[in-house]
Amino acid sequence: MTNPILSDWTTPFEIAPFNQISDDDFAPALDQAMQAHNAQIDAIAANPDAPTFANTIEALEAAGEQMDKVLSVFFTVAGADSNPAREELQRAFSPNLSAHFSGISSNKALFQRVADLWARKENLDLTDEQARVLMLTHRGFVRAGAALEGAEDARMQDIKARLATLGTNFTQNLLADEREWFMTLSEDDLEGLPDFAVKAARAAGEEKGAEGPVVTLSRSLIVPFLQFSPRRDLRERAYRAWTARGANGGETDNRDIAAETLTLRTERAKLLGYDSFADFKLETEMARTPDRVRDLLMQVWEPAKSRANADADILTQMMQEDGVNGPLEAWDWRYYAEKRRKAEHDLDEAALKPYLQLDRMIEAAFACANRLFGLEFAPLDVPLYHPDCRAWEVTRNGQHIAVFIGDYFARGSKRSGAWCSAMRAQAKFPKAQAPVVINVCNFAKGDPALLSYDDARTLFHEFGHALHQMLSDVTYESISGTSVARDFVELPSQLYEHWLEVPEVLAEFATHAETGQPMPQDMLDKVLKAANLDQGFQTVEYVASALVDLAFHDGDAPADPMAKQAEVLAGIGMPQAIGMRHATPHFAHVFAGDGYSSGYYSYMWSEVMDADAFAAFEEAGGAFDPERAKALEDNILSTGGTREAEELYLAFRGRMPGVEALLKGRGLIAA
């Protein structure tokens, strides 16, 4: 029988037929797909005809269709709905996939054809997009080690294979720690928790098979608990478990994995002639050098730390007024920050949350995309990989644009965090294909599901990534959608968050879950005024993580990453009552793969631009100014990686911004 993963998908819009695929299909499908891909690569490399853009670069672009199908389906379910079988498959696949792609990048005959074209690029009569794809292909081969020979070449393959295995192990250890830990709550322990948090705890208890409500390590559950529970002892217990993920000893401990990963990355960079992994990694980003990254982060660090220290004094006084002596601790901060927000802004998260229904926030994200870009969303009834998932067809002027899938709820089988991926990316070659894009989040379940304001921002953030994929309009898949510099990829997502804060959007879509009434004007005003209340805390926990990430990779690898982390935090004067957003043993951005390694700063680099980019709308006709929306689509959202990121931003805005807009936007300096 034909493997359903590799068969022709006759589903609507050729969505993966999840209802026909079993875990037993993945391994044979991958074996067959790798064999087919290898045959395609061998044919390109051994082509007796002289290299041309068509028979080499376009042939590479067209190769691997079966691989794309297998990997898009597998990694979607492995990340969002894992099980023991899928975890075992992932452990087996990681070194095999690394060896497969390393074999391609180290294929000397293939690289020679690419290098030949690169040497003759001025005489090939290429379009701008073709010239860009040639440059990126050649650069990718070189950076993967294609020019290495002999022992150095073999060592590079070993390093990449080992790093792939380590990244998988790091992810699965983290998932195991998050899945296994929960804290059972008695009815008395629910004191002080708002109804939405109680309902979420009860739902989590049912999922865990516990006798009663529980707190898990899902951010959408544990953060409200830390915000509202007056039980300091339980807050401490929950916080310590949350921050100990990946550092509990035993088989799921990630500290040795982090150390080995950093050592291998340094060796990899030096094999390629770089002084450090940060020098290697940042060469292709907007920032270019570690010094430019550090300069940005430190420009933000000092005002953020100053604000956080001032806030800590206020929270400590509030704590002492409650009769609690001793220093403010990390498990106290959110609790007293919430009390302060209620006291200073008369804004109660428990009163606010019923106005932030998940379904209404999805409608809001869609409505903004409609007003800005003319997109329309119609529900699709198609089999997906989990009952929680939903799908929509995206159209414009009656033309099919994309399929969008949303998977919003936390569960034990899903890794933490939120992300966007394209199960199929937009392209016009070798045939026209519309994207299939998925947003995955970890919101607490409820009936109806209610979001915190941070949750709502996350929803808009990930949908901004989705728009980058859906509105892509390029020829070649390798530069489609979010295939841009890492410190540019967060611009569309962080920019889209601003539309959540547009008063008319909240006025229309922030309606009460029970009464259906819109958010009262005074509450809406308070929400917007309170947006920067705890920005000292939020900025410090983020920048500290980014500085530690940079320090790990800028120079020789530390023998003990935990000691290096402590050294960096001491050196910058980390406030005692604030923890890193992602401590090393659960820093998945950096250690689950190298996507954000030496690149966690990129959220802030993009934020410098997103504050300035939204100001362009405000300076024009407002948040929905049609000319600015068209400029955004034409120069950023539709262009993928066709040009350098800085060139794209300049085409949209006319100039590059400074850090001042970010500091003002976060309320860290006077507006």
Q: Span 173-180+246-345+534-671: which CATH code?
A: 1.10.1370.10
208 burial (CB, 10 Å; 0-12 / 13-18 / 19+) is: middle
Which residues on adjacent β-strands are paired with residue 395? 376, 400
Say what the pLDDT of residue 349 is.
83
Say what the pLDDT of residue 530 is.
84
Cα(436)–Cα(68) distance, integer angstroms: 13
Return the sign of the alpha-carbon dihedral for residues 62, 67, 72, 75. Answer: negative
Cα(401)–Cα(382) distance, integer angstroms: 17
Query: Parallel, antiparallel, or unpaired for β 390-396 and 419-424?
Result: unpaired
pLDDT of residue 469 exceeding 80? yes
Cα(89)–Cα(107) distance, integer angstroms: 27
Cα(73)–Cα(86) distance, integer angstroms: 12
Retrieve residue 285's tokens. Answer: 């980003």
* Lowest-confidence pick of 54-58, 150-154, 529-533: 529-533
pLDDT of residue 671 exceeding 80? no
Tell me the average pLDDT across 508-537: 92
Say what the pLDDT of residue 616 is.
95
Q: Half-sphere exposure of 618 toward its Cβ, with a 13 Å CA cutoff? A: 12
Measuring CA to CA, which residue among 307, 628, 274, 656 is closest to residue 487?
A: 656
Determine whether domain 354-482 maps to CATH 3.40.390.10. Answer: yes
pLDDT of residue 532 exceeding 90? no
Residue 284: which pLDDT band, with cuts at 50, 70 and 90?
Answer: very high
Say what the pLDDT of residue 106 is.
93
pLDDT of residue 363 exceeding 80? yes
For residue 430, cis peptide bond before it (omega within 30 degrees of 0): yes
Measuring CA to CA, which residue among 597, 568, 561 is closest to residue 268?
A: 597
Backbone angle region of 610, left / alpha / beta, with phi > 0 → left and psi within -120 to 50 → alpha? alpha
Q: How far is CA 110 from CA 55, 63, 142, in A?
A: 11, 13, 12
- The 10s digit of each residue's pLDDT in 132-171 is 999 999 999 999 999 999 999 999 999 999 999 999 999 9
- The 10s digit of each residue's pLDDT in 309-349 is 999 999 999 999 999 999 999 999 999 999 999 999 888 88
Mean pLDDT of the chain: 96
Retrieve residue 6's tokens. Answer: 């590799």
pLDDT of residue 77 exceeding 90? yes
Say what the pLDDT of residue 578 is.
98
317 burial (CB, 10 Å; 0-12 / 13-18 / 19+) is: exposed
**SS3 assignment, position 395:** strand
Say what the pLDDT of residue 529 is.
83
Question: Helix-strand-coil percent breakdown of the chain, rounded to 5?
Answer: 60, 5, 30
> CA torsion, points 131, 132, 135, 140, in degrees to nearest 10?
-140
- The 10s digit of each residue's pLDDT in 404-457 is 999 999 999 999 899 999 999 999 999 999 999 999 999 999 899 999 999 999
Report the alpha-carbon angle 551-556-559, nearest 5.
Answer: 85
For residue 558, cis peptide bond before it (omega within 30 degrees of 0): no
Cα(420)–Cα(433) distance, integer angstroms: 19
Residue 390: which pLDDT band, with cuts at 50, 70 and 90?
Answer: very high
- 462 catalytic? Reply is yes
Retrieve residue 535's tokens. Answer: 């920005």
Cα(376)–Cα(368) distance, integer angstroms: 10
Domain ranges of the chain: 12-147, 173-180+246-345+534-671, 181-245, 354-482
Give pTM, 2 decimals: 0.94
| Distance, first Cα to last Cα, the chain | 66
Query: Parallel, antiparallel, or unpaired for β 399-409 and 390-396?
Result: antiparallel
The residues, any chain, with a CB within 8 Å of residue 231's CB and separated by 6 or more, are 189, 191, 192
Query: Parallel, antiparallel, or unpaired for β 399-409 and 436-443?
Result: parallel
Active-site residue, selected from the candidate residues 58, 349, 462, 633: 462
Q: DSSP labels for 54-102?
A: IIIIIHHHHS-HHHHHHHHHHHHHHHHS--HHHHHHHHHHHHHHHHHHH
Say what the pLDDT of residue 531 is.
81
Q: Give helix 219-228 / helix 232-243 axis angle, nearest 10°.
A: 150
Tell me the average pLDDT across 557-572: 98
Return the CATH architecture of domain 12-147: Up-down Bundle (1.20)
Retrieve residue 401's tokens. Answer: 């644009």
- The 10s digit of each residue's pLDDT in 1-29 is 689 999 999 999 999 999 999 999 999 99
Cβ–Cβ under 8 Å, residues 69 and 374: no
- Please give the distance of CA 478 from its chain centroid, rounded to a whole number: 19
Say what the pLDDT of residue 152 is.
97
Cα(316)–Cα(283) distance, integer angstroms: 44
Q: How far is CA 295 from CA 155, 301, 665, in A?
A: 34, 10, 19
H or E element at residue 236: helix 232-243
pLDDT of residue 230 exceeding 90? yes
Q: Half-sphere exposure of 653 toward its Cβ, with a 13 Å CA cutoff? A: 23
Question: Which runs of consecutive H residues, i.e. helices, occur in 573-634?
Answer: 588-591, 602-619, 626-632
The residues, any chain, with a CB within 8 Å of residue 656's CB and separated by 6 or more, are 609, 646, 649, 650
pLDDT of residue 658 exceeding 80? yes
pLDDT of residue 44 exceeding 80? yes
pLDDT of residue 208 exceeding 80? yes
Say what the pLDDT of residue 347 is.
85
Percent of the chain at pLDDT > 90 equals 94
